[in-house]
Amino acid sequence: MALATLNDLIKITTKNKNAVGMFNVINYEYAVAMINAAEQVNYPIMLGVPEGFVKNYYDLDTMTSLLKYLATTAKVPVAIHLDHSKTFETTVKCMRAGFTSVMFDGSALTYEENVEQTAEIVKIAHAMGVSVEGELGYVGRNGVDQIDPESFTKVEQAVDFVKRTGVDALAIAVGNLHGNYSFEPKLDFDRIKAIKEATGVGLVLHGGSGIADDDFRKAAELGIDKVNIFTEILDFGKKFTLENLPDMTFLQYSKALADAMTEVVKYRMEVFTCGRTL
Ligand SMILES: [Zn+2]
Largest Cα separation within the chain, whole Å, is: 56
- Does the annotation list 105 as a binding residue? yes
Hey, which bits of 26-94 come out as E strands? 45-50, 78-85
- Say if residue 137 is exposed, middle or buried (CB neighbours under 10 Å; 0-12, 13-18, 19+): buried
Strand partners, 45: 78
- Ion ligand 1: residues, CB within 5 A, are 206
- In this prediction, the residues of the chain whose per-residue pLDDT falls under 70 are 1
- Does the annotation list 156 as a binding residue? no
Angstrom distance (rounded) from CA 70 to CA 98: 13
Q: Nearest CA to 99 among 229, 5, 204?
A: 5
> Ligand 1 mean position to 139 CA, how many Å?
7
| pLDDT of the residue at 146 | 87
- Does the annotation list 209 as a binding residue? yes
> Ligand 1 mean position to 207 CA, how many Å?
6
Q: Nearest CA to 113 among 103, 124, 105?
A: 105
Pick the CATH number of 6-272 from 3.40.50.10130, 1.10.10.60, 3.20.20.70, 3.40.50.620: 3.20.20.70
| pLDDT of the residue at 273 | 97
Angstrom distance (rounded) from CA 29 to CA 255: 8
| pLDDT of the residue at 46 | 98
> Ligand 1 mean position to 239 CA, how many Å?
22
The Cβ-side half-sphere exposure at 62, using a 13 Å CA radius, reads 7
Angstrom distance (rounded) from CA 64 to CA 29: 14
Angstrom distance (rounded) from CA 141 to CA 127: 33
> Ligand 1 mean position to 248 CA, how many Å?
34
Angstrom distance (rounded) from CA 173 to CA 77: 27
Catalytic residue among 8, 61, 83, 225: 83
Q: How many CB atoms lie within 10 A of CB 37?
A: 24
> Ligand 1 mean position to 204 CA, how many Å?
9
- Does the annotation list 228 as a binding residue? yes
Q: Domain map of the chain by residue range? A: 6-272
User: Does residue 83 have an active-site annotation?
Assistant: yes
